[in-house]
């Protein structure tokens, strides 16, 4: 069973896409990108390497991308995750994200779960 889907065939983020990297002792251990169009933003490609999981880095990245989104004028921040990522689902739910109808390329997939949070 695969925990993560394949490569996203949708549009690639442009080089100017705001992206956060999390470094520990000089090594990149996590990342997250923000796709924003006006008042709606989407969390893209949030990932923490396996060796660094369980140390609160995902929560740190999530707080960082929320702050970044607010600075870009985003009022509604949404994301797509999957049924095979229960840790991610728990993180988002405990951080105030609520389930929403599917959206985007992966929105209609049966294993996709979509969430959103109002900022501010």
Q: Which residue carries 């951080």 as its tokens? A: 95
Q: In whole numbers, what is the pLDDT of the chain averaged over residues?
A: 90
Q: Model confidence at 17, in pLDDT bands (50, 70, 90)?
A: confident
Q: Model confidence at 78, in pLDDT bands (50, 70, 90)?
A: very high
Cα separation of 46 and 44, whole Å?
6
Q: Model confidence at 4, in pLDDT bands (50, 70, 90)?
A: low
Residues in a beta bridge with 41: 36, 77
What is the pTM (predicted TM-score) of this model?
0.86
Which residue from 45, 47, 41 is spatially nearest to 10, judged by alpha carbons? 45
Domains of the chain plus CATH, in order, are 19-118 (3.40.630.30)
The pLDDT value recorded for residue 1 is: 37
The pLDDT value recorded for residue 52 is: 97
């Amino acid at each position: 069973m695969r925990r993560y889907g394949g490569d996203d065939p949708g549009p690639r983020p442009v080089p100017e896409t705001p992206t956060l990297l999390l470094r520990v002792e000089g090594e990149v251990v996590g990342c997250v990108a923000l796709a924003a169009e006006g008042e709606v933003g989407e969390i893209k490609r949030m990932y923490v390497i396996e060796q660094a999981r369980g140390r609160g880095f995902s929560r740190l990245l999530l707080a960082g991308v929320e702050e970044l989104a607010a600075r870009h004028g985003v009022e509604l921040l949404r994301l797509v995750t999957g049924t095979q990522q229960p840790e991610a689902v728990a993180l988002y739910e405990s951080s105030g994200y609520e389930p929403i109808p599917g959206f985007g390329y992966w929105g209609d997939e049966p294993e996709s779960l979509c969430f959103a949070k109002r900022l501010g």
